[in-house]
Amino acid sequence: MRTQVAIIGAGPSGLLLGQLLHKAGIDAVVIERQSADYVLGRIRAGVLEQVCVDMLDEAGVGTRMHKEGLVHGGFEMLFQGRRHRIDMHALTGGKSVMVYGQTEVTHDLMDARSAAGLTTIYSASNVSVHDFDGPRPRVLYQTEGPDGPQQHAIDCDFIAGCDGFHGVCRASVPQDALTTYEKVYPFGWLGILADVPPVSHELIYANTERGFALCSMRSETRSRYYVQCELTDRVEQWSDDAFWDELRARLDPQAREQLVTGPSIEKSIAPLRSFVAEPMRFGRLFLAGDAAHIVPPTGAKGLNLAASDVKYLSSALIEHYREKSDAGIDHYSDRCLRRVWKAERFSWWFTSLMHRFPDTAGFGQKVQEAELDYLIHSESAARSLAENYVGLPLDFAEP
């Protein structure tokens, strides 16, 4: 098989890249090691920055998002038993975020790709990338045939590694060409998805003596809640009743009264880490999204960072094919990393502010309380939080 761009990974970043390239008349094949049902079964974040919303519109998949998504102009911070609203709309000159689940984004992109008759290869095993340091990259993979595994090869101009933190693309880069930075946090998030109305029409971020909590939603009838938990905890230890009791204990009296509980339809524990791999380009191989960076979910930046990578990469590839210029390709990594590190900083700061750490007691707790008090009484501090939360603008200037 021959294509212009081979995209490894059929998550939202790989599918969005494929859709944008298709709109520009560039041929791309998407290769995914999991089944389509497995990809759709992954429960992920659901807060989209305007940059991400605009890209989904550009890709032609924004209709259902605008119909079913929830536009939020603010969020609430709960500490010392009281809630305080951060008015993003007022603080950022009218900007907002869209609450629309990543699963729904993936579904919309899958449907668009299928409707256009574009090639997506699911359940591809033993995927490997080759010769990306030269002019003729190749992707090899296997599929299960009636007589056993069948070997396939894709010749391409470029490879886009959108295959996540554990994917093959970053692992295929020579170790001496890669520098990684990582911070692992000493706690996790226990999350539950339930078909119950949200406790509030906007998100609530809670800093409590019992630990962090987040009240979020996927729609007006489906809620997503989280509580900070120990890294050693297991999902089996937490019954639905135990989760609801713990969440209730971390809310203010009004929220406790309004909380509607019900059976979980998904429950999981996610460890928190910050991770960056530099650079993000190796010859004709590009890393995008979780393949290159991970942020803790506190600031809702994971999917949005992946989308901005895709914007830079799609623009660079379109420039290459249309204008015969490699300026975008040459600056891809630096442009991405400038935005990545700003998001890493914000996510680290917000995580540090809202969670209980082993050393939070005493001095650490007082510093958190002072910072939270400063945030709600200083317009400039609140504006900085709001600007980062709604998403910093894309920058196409040379670094």
The residues annotated with a catalytic role in the active site are: 72, 205, 297, 301, 389
The encoded tokens of residue 399 equal 């670094």
Distance CA 388, CA 385 (A): 5
Paired residues of 266 in beta bridges: 193
Antiparallel, parallel or unpaired: β 223-229 and 179-194: antiparallel
Of 50, 59, 2, which is closest to residue 28 (Cα–Cα)? Answer: 2
Residue pair 319/328 in contact (Cβ under 8 Å)? The answer is yes
Could you tell me the two tokens for 291?
């393949």
Measuring CA to CA, which residue among 260, 246, 221 is closest to residue 99? 221
Which pair of structure tokens corresponds to residue 374? 């400063």
Name the CA dihedral angle for 101, 52, 388, 222, rounded to a multiple of 10 degrees.
-10
Quote the DSSP letter at residue 127. Answer: E
Pairwise CA distance, residues 107 & 12, whole Å: 9
| Nearest CA-CA partner of 97 in 68, 69, 130, 72 | 72
